[in-house]
Amino acid sequence: MARYDYDLFTIGAGSGGVRASRVASSLGARVAVAEDTYLGGTCVNAGCIPKKLFVYASHYREDFEDAAAYGWSIGGPRRFDWKSLLENKDNEIARLNRVYARLLDEAGVERIEGRATLLDAHTVAVGERRHTAANILVATGSKPWLPPVPGIEHAITSDHTFHLERFPDRVVVVGGGYIAVEFAGIFHGMGAAVTQLYRGPLFLRGFDDDVRRALAAGMRKKGIDLRFEKNATAIERSGSGLRVRVDDGSALEADQVLYATGRVPKTASLGLEKAGVELDGSGAVMVDEYSRSSVPNIYAVGDCTDRIMLTPMAIAEGVAFARTVFAGTPTRPDYEGVPTAIFSQPQVGSVGLTEAEARERCGEIDVYRSEFRPMKHTLTGRDETAMMKLVVERASGRVLGCHMVGPDAAEITQGLAIALKCGATKAQFDATIGIHPTAAEEFVTMRERIPDPGSP
Q: Judge contact between 291 and 305, C-beta under 8 A.
A: yes
Phi (first) and psi of residue 314, to 5 degrees: -60, -40
Rounded-to-integer distance, Cα 234 and Cα 429, Å: 51
Rounded to an integer, what is the distance from CA 276 to the centroid of its chain? Answer: 31
Residue type, 124: V
Phi (first) and psi of residue 168, to 5 degrees: -80, 145
Q: Which of 256, 236, 240 is nearest to 194 (CA)?
A: 256
The residue annotated as part of the active site, out of 154, 163, 188, 436, is 436
Q: Judge contact between 293 and 299, C-beta under 8 A.
A: yes
Rounded to an integer, what is the distance from CA 53 to the centroid of its chain? Answer: 14
| 340-342 β-sheet, strand order | 340-342, 348-352, 399-405, 386-393, 365-372, 449-450
End-to-end CA distance of the chain: give it in Å, rounded: 78
What SS3 class is residue 122?
coil
| 158 contacts: CB under 8 Å, gap ≥ 6 | 46, 47, 51, 144, 179, 183, 258, 260
Phi (first) and psi of residue 93, to 5 degrees: -65, -40
Helix (H) or strand (E) segment spanning residue 22: helix 15-26
Q: How many Cβ atoms from other residues are within 10 Å of residue 197's Cβ?
A: 25
Q: How many Cβ atoms from other residues are within 10 Å of residue 89's Cβ?
A: 18
Rounded-to-integer distance, Cα 118 and Cα 125, Å: 6
What SS3 class is residue 292?
strand
Q: Is 436 assigned a catalytic role?
A: yes
Residue type, 88: N
Q: Judge contact between 365 and 391, C-beta under 8 A.
A: yes
Task: Please list the active-site residues.
Answer: 436
